[in-house]
Amino acid sequence: LQYIEYLAASDNNEMSLAALKSFQEVLLGRASQQTLADMGIRERSVGAAGNSQTVDEVPPLPEPLWISSWQTWMRISCSLITPHPANIPVLSSEHPSTANTKKSDGPTKHYIPGPSHFTTVLHIFSPLFERVKKKISVNELKYEGVPRILKGIIGVPVSTEQAPFIMSTCAEITPTQEAVLDCVRVMYLEMVDSSSALRPALPDLLRLMLDFTLLSIRAPTTEFLGKKKDSTQWWVQNMVPFAELSLRTLVEFYANTAHYHQIIQSTVLVDIVKCLTQPMELKYDCPSQSTWKTAASAFLTVLRLGLPIARQQTRVYRELWPATADAFEQFLFTTSHPSTPLNADERKRHEFIDCQIIELIRTEILPYANSLPSEFIQRIIEVLNRGSISTLDPNDVLALDSYLQRADLSRVCFDALLSMSQSDEPDIIRSASSQPQTTADDLTDGIGVPSDRNSSPRNTSSLGASAIASLLARCRQVIAGYVRDEQGAGQLPLPQERTVEMISVLRAVRTLIEGLVRRDNAVNSDFYTGLVTLYPLLIDCVPSSRADVQVEQCLMETLKGYQTLLLLKVHR
């Protein structure tokens, strides 16, 4: 093993590869042609008829040698991912025993290890790990152990001489990347075993997948390239598909482990949100346009899984709320622009993703506003208010083709604000008041984590007032803008989007009036005052409403609704 380790770190490409194959043969037996083909090293000669199907039996090594082999694998792998290997055995020609072996820095590599090196060492990992997984320390699978090695392997670039000879069973990624993901899955399957002592390293494994995900927007750092700037091409071609596949794998892993005590306590969800925010913020500036779409889809899936847990553990997930609000803002209101103008179908598809974000807010956040930090809910209201404001410039005819025109987003944001303003008390409070008293076991949610579900509910009247204020301000802006633009348009009709927007606002005002009736002390509230101040603007709409029958009909129904406000003043 020491000779193999020494030669694997040598400055000779062929010698290093031969040492790795010898290591594989010592541990696993002689590989068949099919195994070599899987590693992208197809032999030219078929040889004897039975050789392609024959694999020597695995040598019967004692347990201590398997542990030594694991440690040797760790050191060899570390020596491959750097041009300056350290802690390499210096062997004596007379007595190369373990006790007398000295360690020193190995020779500086003048070559870049190729896919053959890495696929060989990675194919050794899985069967070796299966033999020693009950014997090794969990610290060896923490971030500075095996994950650091796998991250380093991914960061090593593929030289132009080696690239044409890369073969993989997966069309999207290289054999090395495929082998890395196989190693990750082998460790994951062991960690999710309820009897495994390695589960505490599961958060580190998920964070490794986050590092892989970020390779879609940021080239890996590697000592082999130094300060060269010509690495962009190989990064985009080789890393982006791998990064997106890693993200999909991460979502799969998190979906199965989100409720684990280790995952909750390590707040992996916060790291996932912060990671996904980066490609979502870049959006059209991502090297591949599939990246931000994949990130947005993963973001929605992860939050649907994680928010129900986080709502019961608000103290543990203290950093989640500002990070989530940042993600909403930076994605919905990105400053990036598409490199080429979007056609109508593309704009609609992109806007649909935006609307899914708002739907997530409406279903997973607003009904539970009382149990979430008030600062977070206030930022959510600001996001909805900003999203509900039409970004269409009425004086710019060409703006009709702008990607910034998001009428559907404006509508769903407005509807979300309206739904929040219609209730003083979110659904969770009403349901909680009818629930029986929880037991001591319920306080830990069955996973050993103290729950916040029985904490005293926060008064949500201020949040409702904020939503109503934002909604009324939005209504005032739309009504005034519609009147101004309709009068200035002459005989030309306004765009259909403006008409639909105006109809939605008029219906919302009527809904707000109906909601005011159910409130105590409604006449003395700011809500009542805000609705009354809208009345002169609605009167100004009368001449403008004649240009569209639907607008005129909605305006008449809204004005009739003000009878309710007058009767409230009389009777109360």
Shared-domain flag, residues 119 and 237:
no
Helices of type H across 333-393 = 344-364, 374-388
Q: Decide which of 313 and 185 is more confident.
A: 185
Average pLDDT over residues 116-122: 92
Packing angle between helix 146-155 and helix 63-80, nearest 10 degrees? Answer: 40
**How far is the C-alpha of 150 from the C-alpha of 147, rounded, in Å?**
5
Shared-domain flag, residues 176 and 306:
yes
Residues 379-429: pLDDT tens digits?
999 899 888 775 444 444 444 444 445 778 888 888 888 777 665 443 332
Shared-domain flag, residues 113 and 49:
yes
pLDDT at 41: 40
Shared-domain flag, residues 180 and 309:
yes
Q: Decide which of 458 and 499 is more confident.
A: 499
For residue 90, the SS3 value is strand
The DSSP element (H or E) to which 89 belongs, if any, is strand 88-90
The one-letter amino acid at 56: D
Shared-domain flag, residues 222 and 112:
no
Q: How many domains does the chain have?
A: 3
What domain range is 27 assigned to? 1-136
The one-letter amino acid at 172: E
Shared-domain flag, residues 125 and 35:
yes
The tokens of 302 are what?
């992860």
Mean pLDDT of the chain: 78
**Domain limit, last residue, from 301, 317, 333:** 317
For residue 88, the SS3 value is strand
**Domain limit, last residue, from 292, 317, 342:** 317
Shared-domain flag, residues 296 and 228:
yes
Q: Decide which of 160 and 108 is more confident.
A: 108
**Domain limit, last residue, from 91, 119, 136:** 136
Average pLDDT over residues 71-83: 88
**Nearest C-alpha neighbor of 381 from the set 313, 316, 307, 460:** 460
Question: Which residues, in sequence order, are bridge partners of residue 89?
Answer: 103
33 Cβ contact list (under 8 Å, min separation 6): 42, 43, 46, 47, 51, 52
**How far is the C-alpha of 272 from the C-alpha of 411, rounded, in Å?**
29
Within a domain: 379: no
Q: Decide which of 377 and 497 is more confident.
A: 377
Report the percentage of the chain scoring pLDDT > 70: 73
Shared-domain flag, residues 217 and 118:
no
Within a domain: 528: yes
Q: Given the DSSP bridges, would you call strands 102-104 and 88-90 parallel, antiparallel or unpaired?
A: antiparallel
**Nearest C-alpha neighbor of 38 from the set 158, 179, 153:** 179
pLDDT at 208: 97
Within a domain: 226: yes
The one-letter amino acid at 379: R
Sign of the Cα pseudo-torsion (394, 398, 401, 405, in order): negative
Residues 7-43: pLDDT tens digits?
887 777 888 889 889 888 888 876 543 444 444 443 3
Shared-domain flag, residues 131 and 237:
no
Average pLDDT over residues 121-136: 93
The one-letter amino acid at 178: E
Q: What is the CA radius of gyration of the chain?
A: 31
Residues 549-572: pLDDT tens digits?
989 999 999 999 888 888 876 665
Residues 210-263: pLDDT tens digits?
999 999 998 887 776 644 445 566 677 788 999 999 999 999 999 999 999 999
Average pLDDT over residues 342-349: 88
Instruction: Answer whether residue 436 shows pLDDT above 90.
Output: no
Angle at 18 between CA 16 and CA 20, to 5 degrees: 70
The DSSP result for 544-555, as a single string, is: HHTT-HHHHHHH
Residues 502-538: pLDDT tens digits?
888 888 888 888 877 766 666 667 778 888 889 999 9
Within a domain: 408: no
Within a domain: 362: no
Report the percentage of the chain scoring pLDDT > 90: 38
Within a domain: 162: no
Shared-domain flag, residues 287 and 198:
yes
Within a domain: 464: no
Token pair 């979430």: residue: 372
Residue 314 per-residue DSSP state: T
Cβ atoms of 399 and 487 within 8 Å: the answer is no
pLDDT band at 167 (very low <50, low <70, confident <90, very high): very low
Shared-domain flag, residues 183 and 311:
yes
Within a domain: 149: no
Instruction: Answer whether residue 312 shows pLDDT above 80.
Output: yes
Instruction: Answer whether residue 154 shows pLDDT above 80.
Output: yes
Shared-domain flag, residues 107 and 195:
no
**Nearest C-alpha neighbor of 332 from the set 407, 409, 417, 272:** 409
pLDDT band at 49 (very low <50, low <70, confident <90, very high): very low
